[in-house]
Amino acid sequence: MSTEVKVPTLGESVSEATIGQWLKQPGEAVALDEPIASLETDKVAIEVNAPVAGVLAQQLAEVGATVTVNAVIATITAGAAAAAPAPAAAPAAAAVSAPAETGGEESSDPAVLSPAVRRAVLEYGIDPATIKGTGKDGRITKEDVVAAAKAKPASTGAAISVPAAVATNERREERVKMTRLRQTIAKRLKSAQENAALLTTFNDVDMSAVMEARNRFKDSFEKKHGVKLGFMSFFAKASVLALKDIPAVNAQIDGDEIVYHDYVDISVAVSAPSGLVVPVVRNVDKMSFADIEKSIANYGKAAKDGKLTMEDMKGGTFTISNGGVFGGLMSTPIINPPQSAVLGLHRIEDRPVVRNGQIVIRPMMYIALSYDHRIIDGREAVTALKTIKEAIEDPTRLLIDL
């Protein structure tokens, strides 16, 4: 007896998705509620779980196909039957590589490595057979290749399997379909540029006080709260001060009206295998440092594991994006519509500055505030960024709401 596998409810106002990856192939045994496919929506990846235990009989949609809610995408032969032979069309479907933006979770066979992993293997000169995959079902991810490259001795003398096209210096091109999430990101960012009057103001921050406080309390903080004390909680709390003082920075345009919020929901940009995502930490104005750090850590793990939900991404009144983790010195971040402002953080580096008439070395960070000039005046934007700067340079302000 065969059981149909249908596309589950995808979230409010979301009616279709794209088949991102098949996690099980025809003929393979599946357990009840075991993920058999990954769907990509406009915002997050959603796993489709097996409704019964048995053997995957058919895949009725190929990787990259668009499917709607309740559409039948596979069938499962219920029961503990032996693995059935795969249909003739299965090998073709199985050979489809994941899009480059997915982080490239695939097997170690060079013939079926995803484009992202294949490029990384060639770039770092790593034999994929020597890499232990940490992705689903032991698949190799791009991060696994990078980690293997860092652990690789300077010269191993090992022979590395290089595709013939590369060995003969043949020029190649590769065309990879954009994921649904990447397409949505592209549309939203372009829309923000077209519809908002974007402007960016900059400042620099002396991170000495925050770094000293973090180094002083990080061990006791982690011991008490079970989470590391990072810089994001300091900037989140500093942003709350700025947004409370300058309400326009926490507002948004709705038609011919401006909507002001008496709460602060901060979208925190984090990296996921399929691209940059911005889950929302809600009611930050009422949260402690530990609450903020725990929320961000949980979202970071969920993003890495592809477990973020539509509800996690919904809403947000302000965004913080930390390009510093990738080494960025300065940027002009783009707002996350319908929000009106985004704070960009960057790398910390020692620079000479003048203090009390003396040139000294301080750990400095450039910060940027991009904003919609339609509702936020330059004076307001500069004041908000200055408030954040002052709170970071003197964290005591965060305790006394100054």
Query: What CATH number should be reported for the domain holding residue 297?
Result: 3.30.559.10
35 close to 88: Cβ distance less than 8 angstroms: no
What integer pLDDT is reported at residue 94 of this predicted model?
Answer: 36
175 occurs within a structural domain: no
Same domain, 20 and 46: yes
176 occurs within a structural domain: no
What integer pLDDT is reported at residue 335 of this predicted model?
Answer: 93
Same domain, 84 and 117: no
173 occurs within a structural domain: no
Span 78-106, mean pLDDT?
42
Span 145-161, mean pLDDT?
61
Return the residue matching tokens 């409704």: 51
Q: Note the pLDDT tens digit of each residue in 312-335.
A: 888 899 999 998 888 899 999 999
Extract the runs of DSSP E, i.e. beta strands, from 121-268.
198-206, 252-254, 257-259, 266-268
* Residue (of 263, 283, 248, 206) closest to 383 by Cα position: 248
State yes or no: pLDDT of 10 exceeds 80: no
- Distance of alpha carbon 143 from alpha carbon 385, whole angstroms: 35
Query: In sequence order, what are the residues at sequence separation of 6 or more whose Cβ sits closer than 8 angstroms to the Cβ of residue 32?
Result: 50, 51, 52, 53
The residue range of the domain holding 39 is 2-94
pLDDT band with cut points at 50, 70 and 90 for residue 372: very high
Top-confidence range, 50-64, 181-195, 198-212, 387-401: 198-212
Q: Buried b / exposed e across 49-72, counting CB within 10 Å, b at 16+? A: ebbbbbbbbbbebebbeebeeebe
CB half-sphere exposure, 314, CA atoms < 13 A: 7
Active site (annotated) includes residue 373: yes
Same domain, 64 and 116: no
Q: Note the pLDDT tens digit of each residue in 123-141.
A: 677 777 788 888 766 778 7
Q: Which residue has the higher pLDDT, 64 or 382?
A: 382
In this structure, the strands spanning 45-49 and 35-40 are: antiparallel
- Distance of alpha carbon 72 from alpha carbon 318, whole angstroms: 39
Same domain, 283 and 366: yes
Same domain, 85 and 116: no
CATH code (residue 47):
2.40.50.100
| Chain centroid, CA 332 distance in Å | 19
79 close to 56: Cβ distance less than 8 angstroms: no
What integer pLDDT is reported at residue 82 of this predicted model?
Answer: 41
65 close to 95: Cβ distance less than 8 angstroms: no
359 occurs within a structural domain: yes
Q: Which residue has the higher pLDDT, 8 or 94?
A: 8
Same domain, 244 and 374: yes
* Residue ending a domain, choose from 117, 144, 167: 167
Question: Which is catalytic among the residues 137, 373, 394, 401?
Answer: 373
23 occurs within a structural domain: yes
Active site (annotated) includes residue 377: yes
- Distance of alpha carbon 312 from alpha carbon 379, whole angstroms: 33
Same domain, 115 and 161: yes
Same domain, 83 and 58: yes
Same domain, 217 and 354: yes
350 close to 211: Cβ distance less than 8 angstroms: no
Give me the number of domains the chain comprises.
Answer: 3
* Residue ending a domain, choose from 94, 128, 154: 94
Q: Buried b / exposed e across 33-42, counting CB within 10 Å, b at 16+? A: eebbbbbbbb
Query: In sequence order, what are the residues at sequence separation of 6 or more whose Cβ sits closer than 8 angstroms to the Cβ of residue 87?
Result: 26, 58
Span 27-41, mean pLDDT?
87
Same domain, 36 and 122: no
Same domain, 146 and 47: no
CATH code (residue 116):
4.10.320.10
172 occurs within a structural domain: no
- Distance of alpha carbon 304 from alpha carbon 103, whole angstroms: 10
Q: Which residue has the higher pLDDT, 103 or 234?
A: 234
Q: Note the pLDDT tens digit of each residue in 193-212.
A: 888 999 999 999 999 999 99
Question: Is the entire prediction scored with pTM above 0.75?
Answer: no
Query: In sequence order, what are the residues at sequence separation of 6 or more whose Cβ sits closer than 8 angstroms to the Cβ of residue 291?
Result: none
What integer pLDDT is reported at residue 160 of this predicted model?
Answer: 45
Question: Which is catalytic among the residues 219, 377, 394, 401?
Answer: 377
Give φ, ψ of 244 to 5 degrees.
Answer: -70, -35
What integer pLDDT is reported at residue 329 of this predicted model?
Answer: 92
* Residue ending a domain, choose from 32, 65, 94: 94
174 occurs within a structural domain: no
State yes or no: pLDDT of 43 exceeds 70: no
CB half-sphere exposure, 297, CA atoms < 13 A: 15
pLDDT band with cut points at 50, 70 and 90 for residue 304: confident
- Distance of alpha carbon 304 from alpha carbon 139, whole angstroms: 14
State yes or no: pLDDT of 370 exceeds 90: yes
CA distances from 123 to 119, 127, 282, 298 (A): 6, 11, 41, 32
Q: Which residue has the higher pLDDT, 150 or 18?
A: 18
CB half-sphere exposure, 165, CA atoms < 13 A: 8
What integer pLDDT is reported at residue 112 of this predicted model?
Answer: 47
The mean predicted confidence, pLDDT, of the chain is: 82
Span 56-73, mean pLDDT?
88
Q: Note the pLDDT tens digit of each residue in 339-367.
A: 999 999 999 999 999 999 999 999 999 99
Minimum mean pLDDT range among 22-31, 231-240, 254-263, 298-307: 298-307
110 occurs within a structural domain: yes
| Chain centroid, CA 247 distance in Å | 28
Same domain, 242 and 190: yes
